[in-house]
Amino acid sequence: MGNLIIKGKGGAGNKLIIQDQAGAAVLTTADSGATFSGGNIGTVTAGTINGGSIGSSVAMPAGRVLNISQQWLSSDTAVFGTHGTSNGQQWATFWTVSYTPTQPSVKVYAILHPWLRVWANVTTNNHINFRYTIAGSNVSDGAGTNIGQQSNGGTVDGMIWGDWGANSASYWRHSTHNMMFSLRGVTTSGGTGAITYTLDCQNPNAINGNCGWRMYGDSLKEQTSMIFMEVEY
């Protein structure tokens, strides 16, 4: 049995049009290809769809990952001093990093991977504190200032990175931290303005002696980094 062929009558520009009961075109052929014009195409149980693109008006399931971006700290940030001086114990920003969403209403999650080293020759237990600020013109939920630091602003109220015992003031001791942890996620609405994370550290809360820290970053993209994941909601 030969093939059954149905096509528009005549030459170029003539079409084969299949209508629904209301007289609206459902399938319209062209000189090459065809256009499906409405209704529900039904369930595709097998086969492969190649080429083309998904239009912006197509509803996609919630939770779809729209973009993943990694950024690296390009150079070291180092702070060193004695207790009670501006360099010895004050908060210092080691990175201000921004992510620009690809769509106006999304959730953005951030993971920080710091490469950090801390030095101290103090006679009391000590640690390093961490806090961060999130800001953005289109952030509808999640923005905040000094997240991780208690409201009274004391020297030991931030989130602690590492903890080690007392040292003799006559020699140095150091601690190295290479870790990954999640920062607060944010929700945006109404635009794609940049979301900016300002990341701070504070020297150990020593009552005497010297202390310092170095956040490592390099142009080879091998050290401190941030990973952003943008999700549709």
Backbone angles phi, psi at 204, to 5 degrees: -55, 150
Contact partners, residue 204, CB within 8 Å, separation at least 6: 89, 118, 120, 122, 126, 127, 128, 211
Which pLDDT score, from 0 to 100, does residue 85 have? 53
The pair of three-digit structure tokens given for residue 192, joined into one six-digit string: 């794609």
pLDDT in tens, 96-113: 999 999 999 999 999 999
The pair of three-digit structure tokens given for residue 48, joined into one six-digit string: 């492969």
pLDDT in tens, 162-195: 655 555 554 455 566 778 889 999 999 999 999 9
- When pLDDT is cut at 50, 70 and 90, the band that residue 130 belongs to is confident
Of the CA atoms within 13 Å of residue 94, those in its CB half-sphere come to: 31
For 65-232, CATH number out of 2.60.120, 3.40.50, 1.25.40, 1.10.490 equals: 2.60.120
Residue 49 has pLDDT above 60, yes or no: yes
Of 61, 111, 113, 101, give the one whose Cα is nearest residue 187.
Answer: 101
Which pLDDT score, from 0 to 100, does residue 53 have? 73
Residues 162 and 109 sit within 8 Å (Cβ to Cβ)? no
Residues 69 and 227 sit within 8 Å (Cβ to Cβ)? yes
pTM: 0.72
CA distance 37 to 57: 15
Which pLDDT score, from 0 to 100, does residue 137 have? 96
Which pLDDT score, from 0 to 100, does residue 164 have? 52
CA distance 10 to 7: 9
Q: How many CB atoms lie within 10 A of CB 173?
A: 15
Q: Which of 18-22, 59-63, 112-116, 205-209 has the lowest mean pLDDT?
A: 205-209
Which pLDDT score, from 0 to 100, does residue 216 have? 93
Which pLDDT score, from 0 to 100, does residue 155 have? 47
The pair of three-digit structure tokens given for residue 166, joined into one six-digit string: 């007392």
pLDDT in tens, 83-93: 555 455 678 89
Mean pLDDT of 51-61: 72
The pair of three-digit structure tokens given for residue 135, joined into one six-digit string: 């800001």
What residue ranges do the domains of the chain occupy?
65-232
- Quote the percentage of the chain above a pLDDT of 90: 36
Cα-based distances in Å from 43 to 33, 40, 46, 47: 21, 9, 9, 11
